[in-house]
Amino acid sequence: MKFRDLKLGTKQIIGFGCILLIMAGVNVFSIHKMTQLKIEIDEISRNWLPRALAISDINKNTADFRIKQLQYAFAVDPGEQETYKTLMISYIDQIEKNRNTYEALKSDSEARNLYSDSERALYDQFERQLDRYLDLSISHLMLSRENENEEAVALLNDEASDVFNQLSATLLELVNVNKDDAQEAAVRAEETHHASRVIITSLLIATIVLSIFIAGMLVRYIAEPVSALDEAAHSVAAGNLDVTLPVRSRDEIGSLAGSFNRMTTSLREATQKMQQQREALEQANSDLEDKSQRLEKQKTEIEQTNLRLEKQKIEITKKNVELLSTMEELRNTQQQLLMKEKMAALGDLVAGIAHEINNPIGTVTSSTDVTGRCLQKIEIVLEQSSTIEQLRSNPQLPKAIKIIKDNIRVTLTAGHRIATIVKSLKNFAGLDEATYRVVDIHDGLDSTLTLLESEFRGRIEIEKQYGELPKVGCYPSQLNQVFMNLLKNAVQAIENKGVVRIQTRRQDGRVEIKISDSGRGIPAEKLSRIFDFGFSSGSERVKMGSGLVTAFNIIQKHDGEILANSEPGKGSTFTVLLPVR
Amino acid sequence: MHRTIATILGSFLWLSFATGQVAVIANKSVPVDEVTSQQLLDFYTGDVKLWENKDPVIVTDLKPEGEVKALFYEFLGKSPSRMKSIWLKKMLSGEGDPPEALKSESEVLQKVSSTPGAIGFVSEANISDDVKVLTVIPRKD
């Protein structure tokens, strides 16, 4: 785990703990060094100095001893000798005492490893020399006891003197060594003191530096993030949401920074959303304004249009008036056209009738001519025959009579024919007659067929399928015109040979007259407009070409219906339905 | 008897395994068979001058310095110079003389075996049946 990820409390504890530990360490070190220093000073005060003192004393004691020895050697008086002996004993005791003192110090120093090898060697040397000197002293005492005085003095002056000098030198050296060691110890103590001072000072400086560093760390990991957070919070409070804090640790500040970042992100998003909504609102607003402007414009336009319409209305009213007069004119024209059609129909009828009448007249004329010639022959036969037998036997006579008979029949037929035509003509003669009568529809159909006979004779076969029909109340001449027009259209629709079928029947209180032809038929687009006024397939000029408009008008006048069915190439069927009255 | 055999056996063992030890010997007339370092010191300082049977204690010293002498003095707890200080004092006060310092171990053996109440020390290797071994000072190492 990294230091930055620790909790704030832990950080502080670690930081201050480190500082405390270092300070405690410095203290312990200082105390340790002080102790060391104390030991070193103790060494000097408790070892070297007392040892040097003891050695000095020994030196002095040995010197005293030797003086007393010499005095003893030269003493003559036995009492004097005894005094010296006693003094010598006391000096020996002092030497022993000081040696004890020294050796106690020595073993103490050795135990503390403060006893130098050179000192030990010197002391050993001293002991050997002392031993030797004591040996000599014993020998001297022996000699003097045996009254060998000269020898005794010689021993003291020669050999003992040398040993004593050596011993003194050794003791002096010991003192010097001790002094040197003490000096060394002092120097060491001084060094220790100095080193300790340096180390403690360094440690103190290090402690201060470390404390500063730790404080810096704490500042870096606690105070800085907190102040950054504070700044960021101020920044956010001031409205700047583009603030992202670096999450450098996982402690409370790190988590706080994380939360702060999430907060700013949410705020930013919310603000963005608000901004977007505001923009959308503004957009909608401006759209609305646009729309209202447009509406305003449209209103203006509508008002203008209204004005225009008003103007147009006036114009239309004017036009309507014009139209009314035009319609009046048109009606007049229509009536004129109807008249013209009637005249044309009449003309056709007259031509047909003329033709129809011409034929039987021709027949009559020719049969009369043949009859005349037959009569001439009969006359000739009569002249040539003298006798009745002769007359009877003449073959030409019966022949002529037969021809005459035939002619009479032909002439009669022609006469009938003419009579029929005239009768039909009489039917048609009521053309302008607006008389309402109850008639047999079949009579009208037959009359019309008679008048049109010349048009389909030899070319078109007429199939009549008349059913049981009641008499119908109508304007016969007008109905006849309808039949005439329909039949004429049927005839005209057939180019060469064909069939025109006329079917009648009673149908739901109405009379149905169906006229079908096997002609070319009417195209579907024309069929729907076939009863329109003024309809013409080729010319702009208003004409009554088919006469179907007239038929339509007439049937309407009779509260009837007229229907047209057609299949191009196969023929057309016109159905007229008339109420029975 | 047992002790003697043990001592002899011990002597052989010391001879074979640990030579150079010091034996404290006495004339066979002495009334003790063993001795402590304190008793020895008392004899050598001259503080105790008589055996239990009132025979005088006659101590002997070895003149040549060496391992044997050093070991013996160590056993006594006094350095030679210390002993000499004591002897000197005794001489000066007239309480007695220092022991005779003999020139060799054989002289010591000779002296001890031939002098009733005599006591001394030699290297264990050199002991003879003529003397009584009071104790054997082991080498320290």
Residue A433 has what pLDDT? 54
Chain A residues inside the 8 Å CB shell of B89: 89, 92-93
Tell which residue, A180, A40, A192, A183, has the closest CA to residue A109.
Answer: A40
Query: What Rg, from alpha-carbon coordinates, does chain B have?
Result: 14
Measured distance CA(B81)–CA(A127) in Å, rounded: 6
Q: Which residue has the tokens 């109850």?
A: A438
- The answer to whether residue A2 scores a pLDDT higher than 90 is no
Share of chain A above pLDDT 90, in %: 15
Instruction: Decide: helix, strand or coil at residue A460.
Output: strand
Residue A541 scores a pLDDT above 60: no
Query: b or e along A233-269 (b: 16 or more beta carbons within 10 Å of the residue's beta carbon)?
Result: eeebeeeebebebebbbebbbbeebeebbeebeeeee
Burial track A45-81 (b if 16+ CB lie within 10 A, e otherwise):
ebbbbbbbbbbbbbbebbebbbebbbebbebeeeeee
Q: Does the predicted interface ipTM exceed a cut of 0.90?
A: no
Q: Is B115 exposed, middle or buried (0-12, 13-18, 19+ CB in 10 A)?
A: middle
Rounded Cα gap, residues B124 and B11, in angstroms: 8
Cβ of B127: how many Cβ atoms within 10 Å?
A: 20
Answer whether A138 sits within 8 Å of B79, measured CB to CB: no
pLDDT value of residue A62:
92
The rounded radius of gyration (Å) of the Cα atoms in chain A is 87
Sign of CA dihedral A372, A373, A376, A382: negative
- CB contact under 8 Å between B81 and A85, yes or no, is no
Query: Cβ contact (<8 Å) for B81 and A96?
Result: no
Closest listed residue to residue A71, CA positions, set A62, A58, A59, A80: A80
Q: Does A190 touch chain B (CB under 8 A)?
A: no
| A458 contact partners, CB below 8 Å, separation of at least 6 | none
Cβ-proximal residues to A402 (8 Å cutoff; 6+ apart), any chain: none
Could you tell me if B70 and A128 are in contact, meaning their C-beta atoms sit under 8 angstroms apart?
no
C-alpha of A67 from chain center: 127
| Chain A environment of B92 (Cβ under 8 Å) | 85-86, 88-89, 92, 141
Check residue B6 and give its pLDDT. Answer: 54
Q: What is the pLDDT of residues A232-262, one digit of tens each?
A: 888 888 878 787 878 777 777 778 888 888 8
Tens-place pLDDT, residues A426-477: 766 555 456 788 888 898 888 888 878 877 788 889 999 999 889 888 888 7
Cα–Cα distance, B87 to A331 (Å, whole number): 195
3-state secondary structure of A290: helix
Q: Is A196 on the interface with B (CB under 8 A)?
A: no
Judge whether B37 and B130 are in contact, CB under 8 Å. Answer: no
Give pLDDT, residue A410.
Answer: 85
Helix extents (H) in A242-251: none
Q: How many CB atoms lie within 10 A of CB A482?
A: 28
Burial (CB count <10 Å: 0-12, 13-18, 19+), residue A515: buried
Report the gap between the CA of B84 and the closest CA in chain A (Å): 6
- Rounded to 10 degrees, the C-alpha dihedral A104/A105/A106/A108 comes to 90
Q: Closest Cα to residue B40, out of B66, B65, B71, B9?
A: B71
The ranges assigned to domains in chain A are: 8-224, 430-581
- Chain A contacts of B85, Cβ < 8 Å? 92, 95-96, 134
CA distance A275 to A279: 6
Quote the CA–CA distance of A487 and A502 in Å, as a whole number. Answer: 9
Cβ atoms A520, A493 nearer than 8 A: yes
How far does A138 lie from chain B, in Å, by closest CA?
6
Structural contact between residues A241 and A268, judged by C-beta atoms closer than 8 angstroms: yes
Which of A72, A93, A131 to mutate: most B Cβ within 10 Å? Answer: A131
Least confident of A140-149, A181-190, A348-357, A438-447: A348-357
Query: Closest Cα of chain B to A158: distance in Å?
Result: 20
Choose the closest CB to A138 out of B82, B91, B93: B91
**All domains of chain B in start order, with CATH:** 2-137 (3.40.190.10)
Nearest residue in chain B measured CA to CA from A90: B89
Q: Coil, strand, or helix at residue A579?
A: strand
Residue B8's pLDDT band (cuts 50, 70, 90): low
Q: Which of A40-54, A81-95, A553-567 has the lowest mean pLDDT?
A: A40-54
Q: Which three-class secondary structure state does DSSP give residue B33? A: coil
State the alpha helices, DSSP H only, in A430-580. Answer: 441-456, 476-493, 524-527, 548-557
Q: Among A132-136, A337-341, A456-460, which range has the highest average pLDDT?
A: A132-136
Residues of A in contact with B98 (CB under 8 A): 138
Residues of B in contact with A141 (CB under 8 A): 88, 91-92
Out of A86, A127, A137, the one facing B88 most closely (by C-beta) is A137
The pLDDT value recorded for residue A465 is 92
Residues A533/A556, Cβ–Cβ less than 8 Å: no
Q: Tell me which residue has tokens 């070193």.
A: A40
In this complex, which of A92, A99, A128 lies closest to B88 when CB atoms are compared?
Answer: A92
The more confident residue out of A176 and B11 is A176
Name the interface residues of B facing A (CB cutoff 8 Å). Answer: 79-82, 84-85, 87-89, 91-93, 98
Tokens of A500: 């025109």
Tell me the chain A residues in contact with residue B87 when contact means C-beta distances shorter than 8 Å. 134, 138
Q: Is A70 on the interface with B (CB under 8 A)?
A: no
> Residue A102 and residue B79: Cα distance in Å, rounded?
15
Q: How many helices (H) and strands (E) does chain B have?
A: 5, 5
Tell me the whole-structure pTM to 2 decimals: 0.46
Residue A165 pairs with which residues in a beta bridge? none
Give the distance from CA A46 to its chain's centroid. Answer: 97
The shortest C-alpha distance from A44 to chain B (Å) reads: 28
Backbone angles phi, psi at A506, to 5 degrees: -95, 135
Instruction: For residue A458, count other CB atoms closer than 10 A to its CB.
Output: 7
User: What's the DSSP call for residue A114?
Assistant: -
- According to DSSP, the residues that pair with A573 across neighbouring strands are A516, A565
Instruction: Output DSSP code: residue B66.
Output: S
Put simply, the answer to whether B88 touches A128 (Cβ < 8 Å) is no
CA of A185, closest CA in chain B: separation in Å? Answer: 30
How close B121 gets to chain A, by Cα (Å)? Answer: 20
Strand order of the β-sheet with A561-567 is A460-465, A498-507, A510-517, A571-579, A561-567
**What mean pLDDT comes out for the span A341-345?**
69
Instruction: Name which of A203-217, A228-242, B16-30 the model is least confident about.
Output: B16-30
- Best of A103, A124, A137 to disrupt the B interface (most B CBs within 10 Å) is A137
Residues A298-335 have pLDDT tens digits of: 888 888 888 888 888 888 888 888 888 888 887 887 77
Assign residue A246 a region: left if phi > 0, alpha if psi is -120 to 50, beta otherwise? beta
Euclidean distance between CA atoms A73 and A150, whole angstroms: 10
The CATH class for the domain spanning A430-581 reads alpha beta
pLDDT score of A23 more than 50? yes
